[in-house]
Amino acid sequence: MDTVIRTDFELDEGIDFTDVEQIKHGLVTSMVRGVGFDPASATEHDWFLALASLLRGHLSEKGMMTSRAQYGSDTKRVYYLSLEFLTGRRLVKHLLDLGIESAVRAALRELGQDLDRVAEQESDAALGNGGLGRLAACFLDSMATHGYPGYGYGIRYEFGMFSQTIENGQQVEHPESWLRNGNPWEIVRHNVSYPVRFGGHIVCFRDEGGEERCRWVDANEVIAEAYDLKETGYGGAYGCNLRLWSARATQDFDLSYFNEGNYIEAVKDKTTSENLSKVLYPMDTTLMGQELRLKQEYFFVSASLQDILARFFKVHKDPKQIPAKIVIQLNDTHPALAVPEMMRLLMDNHALSWDAAWDITRDTFAYTNHTLLPEALETWPVAMLEAILPRHLEIIYKINYGFLQQVRRAFPGDVAMLRRMSLIDEDTHRVRMAHLAVVGSRRVNGVAALHTKLLRERVFPDFDAFFPEKFVNVTNGITQRRWLLQSNPPLAALVSETIGEGWLTDLDRLRDLEKLADDPAFQDRFLTIKAGAKARAAALIAERCGVVVSTASLFDIQIKRIHEYKRQLLNIMQVIARYNAIRRDPKAVMTPRTVIFGGKAAPGYYVAKKIIRLINDVAETINHDPAVRDLLKVVFVPNYNVSTAEILIPSCDLSEQISTAGTEASGTGNMKFALNGALTIGTLDGANIEIREEVGDDNIFIFGHTAQEVSQIKAQGYDPWSWYAADDEMRTVIDMIRDGFFSTEEPDRYRPIADALLGSDTYLVLADFRSYMDAQKAVDGLYTNQRVWARQAILNIARVGKFSSDRAIHTYAKDIWGVRPMDALS
């Protein structure tokens, strides 16, 4: 008898999430049948699990509808390949997206639970280092919200970003096993798995048509297994999928060893293979030359491309259609191996000719560059690639050969140019992955106007001359749904009450707040909300740092990765100068401040870790000096991550964005703060420049040398000593650091820092110190007038609409991807 498969089920037997009684019933059922506990004795964590699994079913259903619509209309899809996705917690985001937060809160309350506390049971998905990974998370949110057919690919690291504690002033790293208690959001797809190969060698021959063909043989194999996370967009109409790959050994045991009784050897291969998705590399600005990193990159790229092509060939026959149906965005250079991998799959698995495969490949990829720092530009030793990915090295050579022939034709006789542009650095015998990504993509973008300009002028001038159309700018953005609606509910409510809810999907609407900037009643409401956020942050600080801070003080915040180019050192020097001023004359300092630091240093980055220790030593001295009273407090909040950011950012009065001009590609922290009504003190670097353009020169504190001036100073031979000699206040500060004022038990502790400042001072801390101090003085002055301060803060909120990730995604869609939002789902 034939079975008729029905696909038109009305999936309405689920819960009506607007009905508190039904949610309660659903929660209790989920607790008993899913989590397996008695609701009478369940913990907050059990309630989190019960709620998450209840929602997961709902999200799957939404995801299925989106997916059916995409297949149905055969839309072009956007694949976002990123080695990092810093998504943070998901529960509240899903509730807000679906518009069911208050109903769920009420249901939990009737069950004796508090939603906020239940939500805190979730561990942060910290699958990223910082800005780059958070950008990927904001982009998924914007794509899902606006109905772009987006799809994220990454790695399901078993251990995400390490968690940080501060012990004796120093950073201590702890493994972050975020999956320890399971991940209720993920759906494992045992049936979606692909082999990924390493090692072996290649055998080449000519086919009947005379085309050279190669086979990759004798390679080792690892299995990539898919785990899916359903991303909701605001309004819940669409969703998109985030597929993370986990490595599984092809065999659990090598039986020959096992039979000899050697259990350890028997499982060694398994352990080695599964290491591929074990841990996120905790370095964001230096190249990690390790073989394991290269293997991670290839593992995730290969699995993703196999999956993308499998989906394509499910409904299409002709590979020439690929660029019309698929666009693959490379989030930084890490996934650049996607270019030769696409070539390999098309030629070796789908029998395309080189030329046909190359036309398709070049038209399918786009590449986002995220850094100007030379130490972060990825290169791999030729020998390493040859051993691990021999087929890909061969393909890279051939791409390079064809490319350099073209360059030679365009610029005859310029051998130096050929050497500079080559995908292979002939001096160091390394493969330049950024060159590979540029050559293999139709568009290359920088992430802020200045960054794109410097990319074209300093990093890729030859490529810019050769491919004049290829380089474009898309300034980064942040999602207002997470960074205002979710993280600052009172301010979000005030905005919605005042101008309606349009800003949630169109941030330019915030301009309607401009007219209220001078309204004393509105200013008062803003200041009251700010005070509430400060009280919340103060509670967090008391809990994590054991320091009581006054919410009447100016909250001055610098939270981001600890790196010399971001210049936390400049900030702590300013703090020391302020401390000295208070000791000289307490009446000279009129504005009480709380200076808040947070951020992780890469575990092997010695100087960054010293800077953390210095901040903590300075804090210890100042916070215990009775002469300082309430005029100054310094705290280092441990374990900065998305959830910590959500609490600190709304509380901020002054946002520190003080990198050396020409070093920060964009920054996104700067945008989150301004959106929450903080004023920025910053250099003309990254997106700060565009923030100034938007909010107006009078509503931001700009200081320091410009990118152009920085390079001039360096070209002329920068001499930090002359700056040191010319500034008494700065000299005192540096001498105190050098001579152990903050480390009496070990006077030489910070001598290396002082020596480096007076030696090369690579990031021009000394050259910008005076201008920074002047800007800080202006901050103090303005803060004494709360009306004027509030006015400027409100103007910041009103004018940062440009920095929504929605704007960024619309720009990518139009200028780079050539995709349009799907029609509204019925």
Ligand X SMILES: *Cc1c(COP(=O)(O)O)cnc(C)c1O
Summarize as ranges the residues that interact with ligand X (CB under 6 A): 130-131, 134, 560-561, 641-642, 645, 667-669, 672
Residue 76: active-site member: no
Q: Are 806 and 539 in contact (CB under 8 A)?
A: no
The closest of 696, 668, 662 to 768, measured between CA atoms, is 662
C-alpha to C-alpha distance for 216 and 206, rounded to whole angstroms: 15
Of 128 and 184, which CB lies nearer to ligand X in the complex structure?
128
Task: Report residue 818 as tokens.
Answer: 């050539």
Its sign, for the CA torsion 301, 159, 96, 678, is negative
Residue 368: active-site member: no
DSSP assignments along 163-224, one per residue: EEEEETTEEEEE---TTTT--TT-EEEEEEEEEEEES-EEEEEE-TTS-EEEEEES-EEEEE
Which of 644, 668, 680, 683 is catalytic? The answer is 668
**Which residue has the CB atom at the shortest distance from ligand X?**
669
Please state the closest distance from residue 632 (CB atom) to ligand X, in A.
Answer: 23
The closest of 235, 751, 826, 258 to 506, measured between CA atoms, is 235
Which of 334, 443, 560, 791 is catalytic? The answer is 560
C-alpha distances in angstroms, 394 versus 3, 301, 306, 391, 398?
Answer: 51, 18, 20, 5, 6
Of 56 and 672, which CB lies nearer to ligand X in the complex structure?
672
Paired residues of 231 in beta bridges: 240
Of 126 and 495, which CB lies nearer to ligand X in the complex structure?
126
Paired residues of 159 in beta bridges: 279
**Dihedral, CA atoms, 701, 707, 711, 713, nearest 10 degrees?**
-20
Of 152 and 390, which CB lies nearer to ligand X in the complex structure?
152
Please state the closest distance from residue 668 (CB atom) to ligand X, in A.
Answer: 4
Residue 93: active-site member: no
Residue 561: active-site member: yes
The closest of 9, 78, 145 to 824, measured between CA atoms, is 145
Q: Are 769 and 723 in contact (CB under 8 A)?
A: yes
Beta-sheet pairing, 170-174 with 163-167: antiparallel
Residue 325: active-site member: no
The closest of 299, 38, 305 to 157, measured between CA atoms, is 299
Please state the closest distance from residue 374 (CB atom) to ligand X, in A.
Answer: 19
C-alpha to C-alpha distance for 39 and 35, rounded to whole angstroms: 10
Please state the closest distance from residue 674 (CB atom) to ligand X, in A.
Answer: 12
Of 391 and 672, which CB lies nearer to ligand X in the complex structure?
672
Of 75 and 644, which CB lies nearer to ligand X in the complex structure?
644
Of 592 and 667, which CB lies nearer to ligand X in the complex structure?
667
Residue 190: active-site member: no
Of 635 and 645, which CB lies nearer to ligand X in the complex structure?
645
Indicate the length of the chain as a whole number: 826
Largest CA distance in the chain: 95
Please state the closest distance from residue 133 (CB atom) to ligand X, in A.
Answer: 8
Please state the closest distance from residue 157 (CB atom) to ligand X, in A.
Answer: 16
The C-alpha R_g of the chain, in whole angstroms, comes to: 28
Which of 370, 451, 482, 600 is catalytic? The answer is 370
Please state the closest distance from residue 657 (CB atom) to ligand X, in A.
Answer: 7
Please state the closest distance from residue 219 (CB atom) to ligand X, in A.
Answer: 37
Which of 561, 593, 738, 807 is catalytic? The answer is 561
Of 331 and 668, which CB lies nearer to ligand X in the complex structure?
668
Of 77 and 561, which CB lies nearer to ligand X in the complex structure?
561
DSSP assignments along 374-426, one per residue: GGGS-EEEHHHHHHH-HHHHHHHHHHHHHHHHHHHHHSTT-HHHHHHH-SEET
Letter string b/e over residues 362-397, b meaning 16 or more CB atoms within 10 A of that residue's CB: bbbbbbbbbbbeeebbbbbebebbeebbbbbbbbbe
Of 30 and 452, which CB lies nearer to ligand X in the complex structure?
452
The closest of 704, 672, 478 to 557, measured between CA atoms, is 672
C-alpha to C-alpha distance for 390 and 253, rounded to whole angstroms: 27
Q: Are 380 and 432 in contact (CB under 8 A)?
A: no
Please state the closest distance from residue 672 (CB atom) to ligand X, in A.
Answer: 6
Q: Are 478 and 208 in contact (CB under 8 A)?
A: no
Of 147 and 599, which CB lies nearer to ligand X in the complex structure?
599
Write down the residue that tokens 């979710």 correspond to.
Answer: 486
Of 248 and 807, which CB lies nearer to ligand X in the complex structure?
807
Three-class secondary structure of residue 586 per DSSP: helix
Paired residues of 170 in beta bridges: 167
Please state the closest distance from residue 314 (CB atom) to ligand X, in A.
Answer: 37
Which of 134, 563, 566, 610 is catalytic? The answer is 566
Which of 156, 525, 672, 738 is catalytic? The answer is 672
C-alpha to C-alpha distance for 155 and 344, rounded to whole angstroms: 22
Convert 596-661 into a string of H (helix), E (strand) and C (coil): EEECCCCCCCHHHHHHHHHHHHHHHHHHCCHHHCCCEEEEEECCCCHHHHHHHHHHCCEEEECCCC
- Contacts of residue 453, defined as CB under 8 A and 6 or more positions apart, other chains included, come to 446, 473
C-alpha to C-alpha distance for 259 and 8, rounded to whole angstroms: 53
Provide the annotated active-site residues.
370, 560-561, 566, 668, 672
